[in-house]
Structure 1
């Protein structure tokens, strides 16, 4: 396949994914949503990460220990987010595709919702399926989400709609966390970094043995 055809195929795949997300969003219901780097700077590796107990998109209870022994790319967002969340999740999928197969096989991409009221396991299952079969969606009680967000220094806030309470939005920080086999955070990526940069950093970490 020529380089031009490969590029066209990538663009086509992205267009299909975007169309799927838009369709999901329109059919699921109201809500717009924003994303920001929040009121705090990008967290350092030393003060983020920790234990959690949540529920995945199949309804199974999981904890941080479920993912020990491998690497994880964790992003905090929500399914009603029409812009930054699908962009960042697609970037993670692209990054996995740019890693050597033996590296990507060790990495689990994870979306942790910051909107547990609307993001049920079923809602997450439909949403993550639009991106990649490897993508895991995690939800929980409001208290569980608040705890894991605090562990990862994640900012999020509900923005009410005065005319329609069902149309609330979520403002939130936009970081992707690379967690190592021992559960410690090894890197934090901002929304300004490209899929290629993420792929290179993750590959270097995995191939380097991820020493603490």
Structure 2
């Protein structure tokens, strides 16, 4: 089985990696935004107000979205063995969270929900998530529980059949940041490639409205 994309242990190396990933996101976003006729980036339409409650498992015990009622949430679905999309998206989220003030950050809870429950243990998710931000809460559950949560959010994911002799596999999945309002309902979505500053601005708008 392939090893997960374990972040470097050295703090300086971690900072360099995060800075590189965030720069990659910014460059990609600029290139995409340049395309003629492309709509302005922003919250994706549809599904606002949907019930997106969940009850999953962290390394420190059960976690329910309802436990964070009154806070602004942000949810990302991915997996620790993800080679590129997940680290880039989580680095962007981490940079956005890092730009918030202490008072703002105290009212925001980020979640990383695994779409690979067969390999992502709660402890593995905890260690992986903390690399990107101390508040990022890694969650998993039974395959049935993950399927139910993904359905609520409209997330697509599917494990790919490995090549003959390969014990690892990849998981195709939706790469979107889901914004949760203080009432626990879906408040909006931000597409992959949204720059950290725009992610932070979206979180601040929800905070200001609550």
Q: TM-score range by the shorter chain?
A: 0.7 to 0.9
Structure 2 residue 71 is the aligned partner of structure 1 residue 70:
yes
Alignment deviations for residues 176-210 of structure 1 (CA, whole Å, 9 cap, x no partner): 1110111111121111311101111111221122x
Contact kept in structure 2, 1:149 and 1:155, CA below 8 Å: yes
- TM-superposed CA distance for 1:166, in Å, is 2.6
Structure 2 residue 78 is the aligned partner of structure 1 residue 54:
no
Segments of structure 2 that go 5 or more residues without pairing to the other structure are 1-11, 22-43
Alignment deviations for residues 51-76 of structure 1 (CA, whole Å, 9 cap, x no partner): 22210122x11222122121111000
- TM-superposed CA distance for 1:107, in Å, is 0.6
Question: RMSD value over aligned CA atoms?
Answer: 2.5
Structure 2 residue 47 is the aligned partner of structure 1 residue 45:
yes
Distance 1:14 1:67, change over 3 A: farther
Partner of 1:80: 81
Superposed, which structure 2 residues align to 1:23-34 within 5 Å? Answer: none
Cα distance in 1 for partners of 2:127, 2:14 equals 21
Partner of 1:37: none
- TM-superposed CA distance for 1:11, in Å, is 9.5
- TM-superposed CA distance for 1:100, in Å, is 3.0
Alignment deviations for residues 16-75 of structure 1 (CA, whole Å, 9 cap, x no partner): 6889xxxxxxxxxxxxxxxxxxxxxx56233744222210122x1122212212111100
Secondary structure at the aligned position of 2:81 is classed as coil
Partner of 2:100: 99
Cα distance in 1 for partners of 2:140, 2:165 equals 24
Partner of 2:17: 15
Partner of 1:26: none
Partner of 1:118: 119
Segments of structure 1 that go 5 or more residues without pairing to the other structure are 1-9, 20-41
Cα distance in 1 for partners of 2:120, 2:166 equals 16
- TM-superposed CA distance for 1:94, in Å, is 0.6
Superposed, which structure 2 residues align to 1:51-200 within 5 Å? Answer: 51-58=53-60, 60-164=61-165, 166-200=167-201
- TM-superposed CA distance for 1:133, in Å, is 1.4
Larger displacement relative to structure 2 (69-78 or 139-148): 69-78
TM-score where L is the length of structure 2: 0.77
TM-score where L is the length of structure 1: 0.76
Larger displacement relative to structure 2 (63-72 or 77-86): 63-72
Aligned pair count reads 178
Distance 1:72 1:167, change over 3 A: same
